[in-house]
Structure 1
Amino acid sequence: MKAVLFDVHGTLVVKGPREALDAAQNAIVDYLSRHGFAVTLERYRQALADNAKRFRRDVEELNEVGFYQWYECLLADLGIPLQDRDWIDRLNEEFGRASAATAHPMPHALEVLSQLRRAYRLGVVSNSMAPNTRRDLAVAGLADAFDSVVISTDVGKRKPHPYIFNLALANLGVTAEEAVFVGDHPIEDIAGAKRVGMKAILIQSPSRADTRWSELRRGDSALPPAEPDATIEDLAELPDAIARV
């Protein structure tokens, strides 16, 4: 084994879901108000829901919506004129700063990554907004641990699509057979990684503890659940699990 790749949220980074989301949404509403656009929190949340519906088919087909495309459509729903990308970056900076304030590493993440770096190339593959996930990794103190970071809004495809995994493998200069993927989602992480030929280790995230695998299926409906090569409950177990797979 030459490389270990990771999911981010629920695997390496934990955030206070409700608190982080509330703070981030209020930060955007405040930013819009300061720039002359009076938007209530309720209206903003409705626009978010409408935007999610608009792009649902893309997500189901594992096509990722671009970062700026998402924001441009969201602003249009709010009746806000088209803004340039620098303005959108500043708006998202407000969102990301508030959201990342509650980001912290999973237990034992720092020491385990430090240990693994001595023997493996490390990478990240995440379904998320790239600027915000990079900020989360930085706030959690993990950003410098990785040789490659591949995020869906940068590359146009979402896990479990093979493209995003294969791109990460190419970035690390390894084959699928030389890599193991670690994640908390049975379809996006485990089945997706195994489909391209990687070994896969499931970390049992508390956020998914009561969720049936059948309820997690989305996107590529032809992709069945796959059994992980190992299952762990704590990242401290990961080095031994990698040695066994």
Structure 2
Amino acid sequence: MGVEVIIFDVHGTLVEKGGVKAFRAAVKSVVSFLNSRDVHLTEEDYFSIWKNNLKCWSSYLYENKEVDFYRWYEGILYRVGIAYDKSLIDLFNNYWMEGFKNFTKPIQGAGKLLSELKRQGYKLGVVSNGLARNNVLDLQRTGLESYFSSIVISSDVGYRKPESAPFLKALAELETNPQNAVMVGDSMKEDICGAKKVGMRTVWVRGSDGLRTVTDKVLDSDAAVQPDETDVADVADVVVDQLEELYLLLSAGRWPS
């Protein structure tokens, strides 16, 4: 049996979230919310709080474990000086995501590719790192959510890519074996090596540094040892520079098989 399932990463592969400009808009939105509740911080203050919270979890993340949504925000509220409250965290996150709204858009060619894959009968899934509700919201905002039969986000699993758990959960939900599935992603370490480890075929979409998240950059700057990813082009079954190239390969019948 050949390929029957295609699994995609989200950010940098299907969705562009706006990089540093969008991040600054999110910080501004949160600071406005906090100021309205008589918590007076500057945008620089909040960025420092966010970064310190991230660094607090860095050893956890380096082990490819994922932070739960409410535990992440518990640390933020503690540093801001607000008592833990789930309903407040939900509201807080809404303001955070509002800052990204005008910047979040599908990568060029994403919709056309997903539509063609569905037309040809492939089952589609997502395996992505991050907070589940925010990943899903990004897919909704870009009109891509409806293409997928399975959406697996690391915060719901407890482990981040390249750990096997997220991939295996998606494969189980899509009722297929690794040998019949392809992973499409822009991260060499997380998507390509992670999927290869469980026996999937891979398509590496070589992204630019501008698509990397602020979170990745903060974590990378603190890493004692940077991963060696120079040989990934030899590991991936297919390498493209843009998602649109994958559509052309598909149309030409050159899908990994």
Asked if Structure 1 and Structure 2 have the same fold, meaning a TM-score greater than 0.5 normalized by the shorter chain, the answer is yes
Please state whether the residue corresponding to 1:243 is helix, strand or coil: coil
| Counterpart code for 1:205 | G
Q: Residues 19 and 210 of structure 2 are in contact (CA less than 8 Å); yes or no, is this contact kept in structure 1? A: no
Of 178, 193, 205, which residue of structure 1 is paired with 2:195?
193
CA gap of 1:70–1:219, structure 2 versus 1, over 3 A, is: farther
Please state whether the residue corresponding to 2:75 is helix, strand or coil: helix
CA deviations on 1:1-32 (whole Å, 9 max, x unpaired) are: 11000011110011221111011011111111
Which whole-Å CA distance do the structure 2 matches of 1:53 and 1:21 have between them? Answer: 17
Of 226, 231, 241, which residue of structure 1 is paired with 2:239?
231
| Counterpart code for 1:3 | V
Q: Which residue of 1 aligns with 2:180?
A: 178
Alpha-carbon distance, 1:36 to partner: 2.3
Which whole-Å CA distance do the structure 1 matches of 2:26 and 2:105 have between them? Answer: 16
Please report the RMSD computed on the Cα atoms of aligned residues, expressed in angstroms: 2.3
Alpha-carbon distance, 1:117 to partner: 1.0
Unpaired runs of at least 5, structure 2: 212-219
1:243 equivalent in alignment to 2:252: no
| Counterpart code for 1:34 | S
Q: Residues 16 and 106 of structure 2 are in contact (CA less than 8 Å); yes or no, is this contact kept in structure 1? A: yes
CA deviations on 1:193-235 (whole Å, 9 max, x unpaired) are: 00000001000112279xxxxx89x799999764100101222
Q: Residues 21 and 99 of structure 1 are in contact (CA less than 8 Å); yes or no, is this contact kept in structure 2? A: yes
Identical positions, percent? 37
Q: Which residue of 2 aligns with 1:80?
A: 82
CA gap of 1:48–1:222, structure 2 versus 1, over 3 A, is: closer
How do 1:18-167 and structure 2 match up within 5 A?
A: 18-83=20-85, 85-118=86-119, 119-167=121-169
Task: Compute the TM-score of the two structures, normalised by the length of structure 1.
Answer: 0.90
Alpha-carbon distance, 1:136 to partner: 1.2
Which whole-Å CA distance do the structure 1 matches of 2:228 and 2:20 have between them? Answer: 31
Q: Which residue of 1 aligns with 2:216?
A: none
| Counterpart code for 1:196 | V
Unpaired runs of at least 5, structure 1: 210-214
Which whole-Å CA distance do the structure 1 matches of 2:153 and 2:54 have between them? Answer: 19
Deviates more, 1:40-49 or 1:67-76: 40-49
Q: Residues 191 and 223 of structure 1 are in contact (CA less than 8 Å); yes or no, is this contact kept in structure 2? A: no
Q: Which residue of 2 aligns with 1:15?
A: 17
Please state whether the residue corresponding to 2:64 is helix, strand or coil: coil
Which whole-Å CA distance do the structure 1 matches of 2:176 and 2:168 have between them? Answer: 10
Task: Compute the TM-score of the two structures, normalised by the length of structure 2.
Answer: 0.86
Q: Which residue of 2 aligns with 1:212?
A: none
CA deviations on 1:122-154 (whole Å, 9 max, x unpaired) are: 011111122221111111111111111111112
CA gap of 1:222–1:170, structure 2 versus 1, over 3 A, is: farther
Alpha-carbon distance, 1:69 to partner: 0.2
Deviates more, 1:189-198 or 1:87-96: 87-96
| Counterpart code for 2:243 | L
Of 205, 208, 220, which residue of structure 1 is paired with 2:207?
205
Which whole-Å CA distance do the structure 2 matches of 1:170 and 1:151 have between them? Answer: 14
Q: Residues 162 and 195 of structure 2 are in contact (CA less than 8 Å); yes or no, is this contact kept in structure 1? A: yes
| Counterpart code for 2:40 | A
CA deviations on 1:177-197 (whole Å, 9 max, x unpaired) are: 010000011110000000000
Which whole-Å CA distance do the structure 2 matches of 1:5 and 1:244 have between them? Answer: 13
CA gap of 1:230–1:166, structure 2 versus 1, over 3 A, is: same
Which whole-Å CA distance do the structure 2 matches of 1:172 and 1:90 have between them? Answer: 33
